[in-house]
Amino acid sequence: MPRRDALVAGLLAVLVVVLLWPLARQGVDQHHDGIMLKPALDVLSGQVLFRDTFTQYGALTTYLQAAMLWFQPTLLALRLMTVAAYALALFFLYATWRLILPRPLTVLACGLFALFIPGYEKNWLDQYWMLLPWSSVYALMFQGLGLFALTQIIRDAHAVRWGAILGAACACAFWCRQPVGVIMTGCAGASWLALQWAGWTPVNATRRAIVVATLAGFVAVNVLLLGSVALTGALPEWWYQNFIWPSKWAQGSENVSWGLFVSFFVHPGAGAGLLVLLLALFAPGLLPRAGLVLTPRRQGLYYLVLAGVLAWQHERVLGLLALRDGGWTALLPVVVLGQALLCLGLVFRQTETPKTTEYYLVAALAAQAAGSLLQYYPVPDSWHILWALAPAFGLAVYIFWRSARWSVPVTTLVLTAAFVPSLWAKIQSARQSLARPLVTLEHPAVLRGIQVTAVQAQSFHRITAVLEQIERHQPGIPSALIGNDALFLCFTKNRTNPTPYYVTWIGLADQPMNQKRWNYIQSVRPLMFLHKARWEAVNDFYRRARYLPVLYVEDEALEIAVPQELADAMGLKVYGGEAGGGPAKEKPKP
């Protein structure tokens, strides 16, 4: 990559860091943050992934996050690592898109990437989206690297070296998030076969050398990671947690209603309207392909009339152009799939004119972008839409530019104008988000530096105070959870789990594992977190297991209970944790 482009890509990556840094500190998601933080902390403490602790999102994600926690064992550290992953992904995507786009349009495509990040926006629950340390972000980082490597192979620039990098990137994407890695690998293989069929021939390396290098990179990463799982005796658990269980979850009717999600997040009707609008813009450039040519005067008159119609229907037009409720999330996948099919058709079309490097690059990008669209399933919310569309932004800008047949400045101006309303709405939403009176946490230690509302800060203070009191009487007491959100388990020092399945998701653990959990509670007597539980069943559990609740936090729907013998030693009565053994204080439960 030329130095100037490397500088521009670096500046854009830094800009993403600046934009996302404040977002990384905002809010706590007990479920999504917890399910990523807990296994990383467990691995950091010496536990074996899959055998001792559960993750369904890929071993490499957990290993990378555990390495980050070695420097600072906090949620904020994982959030900032996520920011860095977004920045690296954008750097590689810029380098890829720059091969088919002029610099201004490449910068514009990167701007779309940043704009589609749903930070500082509210979701359907009227709550602000949080920057989650999700495995898809790390997979996206390796997608960007792999896509750039594929384009370098096509350009015949050190193809053998980049082949090894492509193979390793595909494997790393798989070990970060399995579906993304499988799709990426399949699309890379399909692209290679299509390149051979279309007549692409490397000059500075043989096809065999490139294939061998790619397979070597792919196999090396897989052997390293799969071998580490096998050596620890966790292969059966890995297979269940990363393949069987996600399939069971996705197929559960109570968990996934893809058709409902599509109508709520994707808006096919608005996408159709936006397509009509774009065809109206492109009409003068498309007519010559049908043998019709408009004079410059008639073109000017056409666009004048079109501008009048758009001004007249400006409210409807602005609705179609809206970032979330408009047609972009439906139209962009259609455009990408259309380009992929077009490139595929040209592969089988026999012509005397040799295909250009630009064609091969666009075809490879279209294949990878089309494969990435599968991340719309099973939940096409704003985050999954970003991850699905990320490789496609540059391709979409390219298609717009080539279809309109406008100059680069005009194309840049028109596309920028189309997204200005969304940018302005985003700025206003960000100002409101950053203006909230949030409190920076000092305790619990794992949440240090995170900003939450005053109410939630008070709840965490109450929880921490009780946990410290329990820890003083029984240092190193382990903990167990009845609930779906693992974050609270990260508040205690002892990371030991009753079973690998530290959460009690319906259908996750089988009966022997559930019995093992119960036996652990009976024999080891851990501290218990009960979160959003069925309280009538909880009361029965207390009687059978001889546990006593010492704190109920209304705003979190969380109860903390300790063994009866520990409560007696501490002098605590029911819900007496906050008073240090004072009078019992019943707290309301739902």
Query: Average per-residue pLDDT in the chain?
Result: 91
- Kindly tell me if the per-residue pLDDT of 140 is higher than 50: yes
pLDDT for 179 equals: 94
- Cα(325)–Cα(302) distance, integer angstroms: 29
Residues 6+ apart with CB under 8 A from 253: none
- Cα(489)–Cα(503) distance, integer angstroms: 10
Strand order in the sheet with 547-553: 479-482, 527-531, 558-563, 547-553
- Kindly tell me if the per-residue pLDDT of 272 is higher than 50: yes
Q: What angle do CA 525, 527, 529 make, to 5 degrees?
A: 130
Q: Report DSSP state, residue 530.
A: E
pLDDT for 589 equals: 62
pLDDT for 350 equals: 63
> What percentage of residues in the chain have a pLDDT greater than 70?
96
pTM of the shown model = 0.93
Q: How far apart are the first and last CA of the chain?
A: 60
Over residues 324-378, the pLDDT tens digits come to 999 999 999 999 999 988 888 877 776 667 788 899 999 999 999 999 999 988 8
Paired tokens of 185:
């690998």
Over residues 169-208, the pLDDT tens digits come to 999 999 999 999 999 999 999 999 988 888 888 888 889 9
Q: pLDDT band for position 2 (50/70/90)?
A: confident
pLDDT for 255 equals: 57
pLDDT for 583 equals: 40
Q: pLDDT band for position 295 (50/70/90)?
A: confident
Write the burial class of residue 347 (CB in 10 Å: 0-12 exposed, 13-18 middle, 19+ buried): middle
- Cα(431)–Cα(420) distance, integer angstroms: 16
Least confident window among 31-35, 146-150, 229-233, 291-295: 291-295
Q: What sections of 57-100 are H helices per DSSP?
A: 59-71, 75-97
pLDDT for 256 equals: 63
pLDDT for 203 equals: 81
- Cα(317)–Cα(4) distance, integer angstroms: 37
Delimit the domains of the chain by residue range: 135-247, 260-405, 453-570
Over residues 486-543, the pLDDT tens digits come to 999 999 999 999 999 999 999 999 999 999 999 999 999 999 999 998 888 898 999 9
